[in-house]
Amino acid sequence: MSLIATSKYGDCSRCGDRNTSCKKRGKDMLCLTCCKIEDTKKQTEKARERDKLRGLYGSQVEAGNESAASRQALIQDIDYVFSRIVRLRAADEYGNVQCYTCPTKKHWSLMQNGHYVPRGNMALRWEFKNCRPQCKNCNEVKSGNLSVFSERLDAEVAGQSEMLLNEAKIVFKHSLDELKQLLIDFRGKLRLLEAKNTKQAT
């Protein structure tokens, strides 16, 4: 148990309350009430940022003027749904998936969606031919384990890795309507896969 005092008596530099329990915040001394107000405000701001990333973009869109935040929120939603589809498609009857580039085998929920051409390339970000399930070690530590990834792709279809690299040179940007439609389509595919996976597990 710490013996260091977390607060002391003083004058609040925000509300002006005198000779009250205060805490040091930066260069200021704030009373406990003002500290609570400040903490609540920070938590609210963090929650708003999380909501944006989770796809709650509707409130950010003004009539006839969809913002960059709306696009980013849609992309985040599509990434989430698409990743689940890639992993579930490769799952066996027990929900396990083998990494595309090493022998590691785990439940699909513990695997990641690996991209041969990095997902920053919008032309191939949500292309199934460019994506396979990978373990964290291959996808993150080995940066995709691309030499093995390339070999596996070419074993499936001759020259497939080269074709993907050529397609990656195309500059492409989805419209907001296209992003919304992609999300609808992928959600439909995901529902079918989740239903199938649940049925197999029972």
> Which one has a higher pLDDT value, 187 or 66?
187
Measured in whole angstroms, the distance separating CA 190 from the mean position of its chain's CA atoms is 17
67: tokens are 């913002």
Q: Is 159 a residue whose pLDDT tops 80?
A: yes
Q: Mind listing the pLDDT tens digit for each residue in 79-112?
A: 999 999 999 999 999 999 999 999 999 999 999 9
Whether 133 and 152 have beta carbons less than 8 Å apart is answered as no
Confidence check: pLDDT of 200 > 80: no
Q: Is the pLDDT of residue 5 over 70?
A: no
Domain map of the chain by residue range?
12-51, 58-201
Q: pTM (2 decimals)?
A: 0.67
The pLDDT score that the predictor gives to residue 59 is 46
Which positions ≥6 away from 139 have C-beta within 8 Å? 112, 113, 114, 145
β-pair partners for 8: 22
Q: What is the pLDDT of residue 50?
A: 58
Backbone φ/ψ region at 65: left (φ over 0), alpha (ψ -120 to 50), beta: beta
Structure tokens at 57: 């973009």
Residue predicted with more confidence, 62 or 157: 157
Name the phi and psi angles at 119, rounded to 5. -70, -10
